[in-house]
Amino acid sequence: MSLSGAVTQLQTLALTISGIKDAPVNPPESINVFPFVVAYPARGTFTGEGSGTIRGLHTIYTEVHYARTLLGAAVNSATAMVETYADKILANPTLAGTVDTILMSADGQPFTYEFGRLEWGGLETIGIRFAITVKIRRSI
Protein backbone atom coordinates (compact mmCIF):
# COMPACT_ATOMS: atom_id res chain seq x y z
CA MET A 1 0.00 0.00 0.00
CA SER A 2 1.27 3.42 -0.91
CA LEU A 3 0.24 6.96 -1.66
CA SER A 4 1.74 6.77 -5.14
CA GLY A 5 -0.19 3.54 -5.77
CA ALA A 6 -3.44 5.26 -4.74
CA VAL A 7 -2.76 8.19 -7.07
CA THR A 8 -2.04 5.81 -9.94
CA GLN A 9 -5.21 3.82 -9.23
CA LEU A 10 -7.36 6.97 -9.25
CA GLN A 11 -5.88 7.81 -12.67
CA THR A 12 -6.52 4.26 -13.88
CA LEU A 13 -10.16 4.39 -12.75
CA ALA A 14 -10.63 7.71 -14.56
CA LEU A 15 -9.30 6.21 -17.80
CA THR A 16 -12.04 3.56 -17.71
CA ILE A 17 -14.67 6.29 -18.14
CA SER A 18 -15.91 6.80 -21.67
CA GLY A 19 -14.77 10.12 -23.12
CA ILE A 20 -11.70 10.69 -20.93
CA LYS A 21 -8.81 11.27 -23.35
CA ASP A 22 -5.81 11.18 -21.00
CA ALA A 23 -4.89 10.56 -17.37
CA PRO A 24 -1.09 10.69 -17.20
CA VAL A 25 0.47 9.10 -14.12
CA ASN A 26 3.15 11.80 -14.07
CA PRO A 27 1.47 15.21 -14.40
CA PRO A 28 2.71 17.04 -17.51
CA GLU A 29 3.69 20.71 -17.69
CA SER A 30 0.96 21.30 -20.25
CA ILE A 31 -1.75 19.30 -21.98
CA ASN A 32 -3.53 19.63 -25.28
CA VAL A 33 -6.08 16.80 -25.08
CA PHE A 34 -9.45 17.27 -23.40
CA PRO A 35 -10.92 16.07 -21.18
CA PHE A 36 -7.96 14.95 -19.13
CA VAL A 37 -7.57 13.85 -15.51
CA VAL A 38 -4.73 14.48 -13.10
CA ALA A 39 -4.42 13.20 -9.52
CA TYR A 40 -1.92 14.36 -6.91
CA PRO A 41 -1.46 14.40 -3.10
CA ALA A 42 -2.99 17.54 -1.58
CA ARG A 43 -2.49 17.18 2.18
CA GLY A 44 -2.21 14.58 4.89
CA THR A 45 -1.24 13.53 8.37
CA PHE A 46 0.83 10.74 9.92
CA THR A 47 0.23 9.10 13.29
CA GLY A 48 2.36 6.51 15.01
CA GLU A 49 0.33 3.49 16.13
CA GLY A 50 3.04 1.72 18.11
CA SER A 51 4.89 -1.48 17.23
CA GLY A 52 6.55 0.19 14.23
CA THR A 53 3.29 1.00 12.47
CA ILE A 54 2.34 4.37 11.05
CA ARG A 55 -1.06 5.48 9.82
CA GLY A 56 -1.28 8.05 7.07
CA LEU A 57 -4.45 9.92 6.22
CA HIS A 58 -4.00 11.44 2.78
CA THR A 59 -6.29 13.67 0.76
CA ILE A 60 -5.74 13.24 -2.96
CA TYR A 61 -7.07 15.77 -5.44
CA THR A 62 -8.31 14.34 -8.70
CA GLU A 63 -9.06 17.02 -11.27
CA VAL A 64 -11.03 16.52 -14.46
CA HIS A 65 -10.25 19.31 -16.94
CA TYR A 66 -12.48 20.28 -19.87
CA ALA A 67 -11.72 22.85 -22.58
CA ARG A 68 -13.69 26.07 -22.24
CA THR A 69 -14.29 26.35 -25.98
CA LEU A 70 -17.66 24.58 -25.84
CA LEU A 71 -18.80 25.60 -22.39
CA GLY A 72 -22.28 24.05 -22.55
CA ALA A 73 -20.93 20.67 -23.64
CA ALA A 74 -18.21 20.85 -20.98
CA VAL A 75 -20.75 21.51 -18.24
CA ASN A 76 -22.94 18.61 -19.40
CA SER A 77 -19.98 16.21 -19.56
CA ALA A 78 -18.67 17.33 -16.17
CA THR A 79 -22.08 16.87 -14.57
CA ALA A 80 -22.26 13.27 -15.80
CA MET A 81 -18.66 12.67 -14.71
CA VAL A 82 -19.46 13.50 -11.07
CA GLU A 83 -21.69 10.45 -10.65
CA THR A 84 -19.76 8.16 -12.96
CA TYR A 85 -16.44 8.68 -11.13
CA ALA A 86 -18.13 8.43 -7.73
CA ASP A 87 -19.65 5.08 -8.75
CA LYS A 88 -16.21 3.76 -9.80
CA ILE A 89 -14.64 4.75 -6.49
CA LEU A 90 -17.47 3.53 -4.27
CA ALA A 91 -17.33 0.14 -6.02
CA ASN A 92 -13.61 -0.09 -5.15
CA PRO A 93 -13.10 1.32 -1.60
CA THR A 94 -9.54 -0.06 -1.29
CA LEU A 95 -8.55 1.30 -4.71
CA ALA A 96 -7.46 -2.15 -5.87
CA GLY A 97 -5.61 -2.82 -2.61
CA THR A 98 -3.48 0.35 -2.74
CA VAL A 99 -5.09 1.75 0.46
CA ASP A 100 -6.73 0.34 3.58
CA THR A 101 -9.90 2.26 2.80
CA ILE A 102 -11.39 5.47 1.56
CA LEU A 103 -12.38 7.38 4.69
CA MET A 104 -16.02 8.04 5.29
CA SER A 105 -16.91 11.48 6.64
CA ALA A 106 -19.34 12.16 9.46
CA ASP A 107 -22.20 12.51 6.99
CA GLY A 108 -21.37 9.20 5.28
CA GLN A 109 -19.67 10.62 2.21
CA PRO A 110 -16.19 9.33 1.33
CA PHE A 111 -15.17 12.33 -0.72
CA THR A 112 -16.23 15.76 -1.90
CA TYR A 113 -16.10 17.59 -5.19
CA GLU A 114 -16.17 21.14 -6.50
CA PHE A 115 -17.13 22.27 -9.99
CA GLY A 116 -15.84 25.43 -11.64
CA ARG A 117 -12.77 27.14 -12.98
CA LEU A 118 -9.54 25.15 -12.94
CA GLU A 119 -6.10 25.84 -14.37
CA TRP A 120 -3.31 23.62 -15.63
CA GLY A 121 0.01 24.84 -16.98
CA GLY A 122 -1.30 28.40 -17.23
CA LEU A 123 -4.32 27.35 -19.28
CA GLU A 124 -7.75 28.14 -17.85
CA THR A 125 -10.13 25.18 -17.99
CA ILE A 126 -13.45 24.23 -16.46
CA GLY A 127 -13.95 21.06 -14.50
CA ILE A 128 -14.26 19.12 -11.30
CA ARG A 129 -11.88 18.71 -8.36
CA PHE A 130 -12.55 15.65 -6.23
CA ALA A 131 -10.99 15.51 -2.74
CA ILE A 132 -10.61 11.84 -1.79
CA THR A 133 -9.20 10.97 1.64
CA VAL A 134 -7.62 7.55 2.09
CA LYS A 135 -6.11 5.66 5.01
CA ILE A 136 -2.84 3.79 4.57
CA ARG A 137 -1.21 1.80 7.37
CA ARG A 138 2.40 0.72 6.91
CA SER A 139 5.37 -0.55 8.83
CA ILE A 140 8.35 1.70 9.43
Choose between 129 and 74: higher pLDDT: 129
How much is the pTM?
0.89
- Predicted pLDDT at 108: 58
* Residue 97 Ramachandran class (φ > 0 left, ψ -120 to 50 alpha, else beta): left
pLDDT digits (tens, 9 = 90+) for 80-107: 899 999 999 989 999 999 999 898 665 6
Percentage of the residues of the chain whose pLDDT score is greater than 70? 96
pLDDT digits (tens, 9 = 90+) for 8-40: 999 999 999 999 999 988 888 888 889 999 999
User: How many whole angstroms from its chain centre is CA 62?
Assistant: 3
Question: Could you tell me the CATH number of the domain that includes residue 40?
Answer: 3.30.2000.10
Domain count, the chain: 1
Which range marks the domain in which residue 70 is found? 3-139
